[in-house]
Structure 1
Amino acid sequence: MGTGVIAVAITDRMALFEMSIAAQVFGLERLDLMDPWYELRMCAADPGVTRVEHGFVVDTPYGLDALEDADTVIVPGLDPKEVTAGTVDPRLIPAVLAAHARGARMVSLCTGAFALAEAGLLDGRRATTHWRYADLMRSRYPKIEVDPAVLYVDDGDVLTSAGVSAGIDLCLHLIRTDLGADIANQVARRMVVQAHRAGGQAQYIEAPMPRSTGDGLGPLLQWATENLDQQLTVTQLARTAGLSTRTLARRFTEATGTTPLRWLHAERLTRARQLLESTDLPVERISQLCGMGTAGNLRHHFTREVGVTPMTYRRSFQP
């Protein structure tokens, strides 16, 4: 695609950080790397100045009609209140549709995906957004295959990034696609970031706490979390709770939304994450303390669920 025109679609109270990612990556001329570099245009429904997040005012000399002339259109993160309420600026929707119809590459950063979703550009596609809003996107737009675990999704002419700093990963990916890996790597070094981050957004998703229904399983859950280093079975859990295995399974699903064994598995991985973040214990010892047996077993399940190996995860959270 070469460099070309990058148009950033800006609305009121838009996320400052994601917008600044686009400005830093594409707006700073790097003529020693490529001449010409990208041309960045800041576009808004009301050209002039636009007040974005935290009261900052951005010079927006172009209107949204300028999106149609762009090679790439970037929609940064939206105002969280707009996302929650489903009130994306209606002037943005026809503008992104017109740009896409003309052949522009459409890119969203973080919750900017909700604007593309509202325009129908993500229907039938795999896409991502900030993990905190993934369930909302999935329920509001059921035609989208929402993947909350990755850093970004490249679906050809439409690309979406996960939460906040994942926008850097996607913007570097755009440079890599347009200009090659060498230039993308040099830009990453100048920004003092990794050219390729291992894994995805999954390693930053908070482990959900089990739902409480007041059915008396609290003491059993507490006991189980204190004995994760033991090889716990459903029979043992049922005996501890004074229930039959069938009754335990039913009440467990009602209380936690999952089965006893799946709950135990999730708790073991949560314990492993906590130990990797807060201790220098070897992986072999951590696997024993969380009841995963061997280091190989922990690596297998941890990598499958989190997207990175235990040691890579540890490096992400420890200095």
Structure 2
Amino acid sequence: MKKILLLLAEGFEFFEASVYIDVFGWNLIDGDGNTQLYTCALKREVNSTFNQKVIVDFLVDEIKIEEYAAIAIPGGFEEYGFYSDAFDPRFVAVIKKFYEEKKIISSICTGAFPIAKSGILNGKNGTTYNLNPVRQQMLKDLGVNVINQPIVESDQITTSWNPSTALDVAFKLLRDLTGEENTVSVKTKMGF
């Protein structure tokens, strides 16, 4: 069983988290059945953007990184406190450990920021929210070579530029973990 850690910051965007949950849930039931997603945060209850509350499976200090094949990081809104958690040293340290262990790192939209904050994207290609130049400049200021395209891969790290890329990023992670044939099968069963 390949385990995926969904790392949630305060103010995470629900849609961006939900695509990972749905794609890997469908794979568990109607795909190869070889993936399981778990949620994790700095505190047990996390507010999403627009204030929906989520109770996570684990706190960051409870996880054993060696048990996971990948980490998934949705973006979020500054107005709902996203950057306070996303830039917290404990949050960033988890991402850095996944990188050091050569695990897959997948992010959507502003989920690129804690990855960049960890230093693992320094001098590498990446992208983030593209409809506000402030966000792309912010990523550049963190040492990232910002590429203006929907999905950017660098080493084992995937970044993307806005919520419209969310499903493609989640399916890419499924493909990376289970292969093309299984991913096409799951997409078909989901109606894509």
SS of corresponding position for 1:165? helix
SS of corresponding position for 1:40? strand
Question: Is 1:40 aligned with 2:37?
Answer: yes
What pairs up with 1:1-319 in 2 under 5 angstroms? 4-35=2-33, 37-47=34-44, 49-65=45-61, 66=63, 68=65, 69-81=67-79, 88-131=87-130, 132=132, 133-138=135-140, 140-141=141-142, 143-148=143-148, 150-193=149-192
* Higher relative contact order (Cα pairs below 8 Å, separated by 6+ residues): 2
CA distance 1:12–1:32, change in 2 (3 Å): closer
SS of corresponding position for 2:38? strand
Hey, what's the Cα distance between the residues in 1 that align with 2:128 and 2:25?
23
Alignment check: 8 A CA contact 2:12 2:82 kept: no
Shift of 1:33: 2.5
CA distance 1:9–1:83, change in 2 (3 Å): closer
Alignment check: 8 A CA contact 2:107 2:158 kept: yes
Alignment check: 8 A CA contact 1:175 1:184 kept: yes
Shift of 1:86: 10
Hey, what's the Cα distance between the residues in 2 that align with 1:115 and 1:152?
17
Alignment check: 8 A CA contact 1:113 1:129 kept: yes
Hey, what's the Cα distance between the residues in 1 that align with 2:145 and 2:136?
10
Query: Unaligned 5+ residue runs, structure 1?
Result: 194-319
Q: Deviations over 1:269-306 (max 9, x none)?
A: xxxxxxxxxxxxxxxxxxxxxxxxxxxxxxxxxxxxxx
Hey, what's the Cα distance between the residues in 2 that align with 1:87 and 1:8?
13
Q: Give percent identity, aligned residues only.
A: 22
CA distance 1:178–1:91, change in 2 (3 Å): closer
Hey, what's the Cα distance between the residues in 2 that align with 1:162 and 1:192?
24
Shift of 1:80: 2.6
Shift of 1:25: 1.1
Hey, what's the Cα distance between the residues in 1 that align with 2:170 and 2:150?
11
Shift of 1:60: 0.2
TM-score, normalised via structure 2 length? 0.85
Alignment check: 8 A CA contact 1:92 1:115 kept: yes
Alignment check: 8 A CA contact 1:126 1:153 kept: yes
SS of corresponding position for 1:103? coil
Alignment check: 8 A CA contact 1:151 1:161 kept: yes
* AA aligned opposite 2:123: G
Shift of 1:102: 2.5
Q: Deviations over 1:104-126 (max 9, x none)?
A: 21121110000101111111211
Q: Deviations over 1:223-247 (max 9, x none)?
A: xxxxxxxxxxxxxxxxxxxxxxxxx
Larger Rg: 1
CA distance 1:52–1:44, change in 2 (3 Å): same
Query: Unaligned 5+ residue runs, structure 2?
Result: none
Alignment check: 8 A CA contact 1:9 1:67 kept: no
- The size of the alignment, in residue pairs, is 186
Please state which structure has a larger fraction of its residues in helix: 1
Q: Deviations over 1:53-97 (max 9, x none)?
A: 212111202111326232101111033345789972333112212
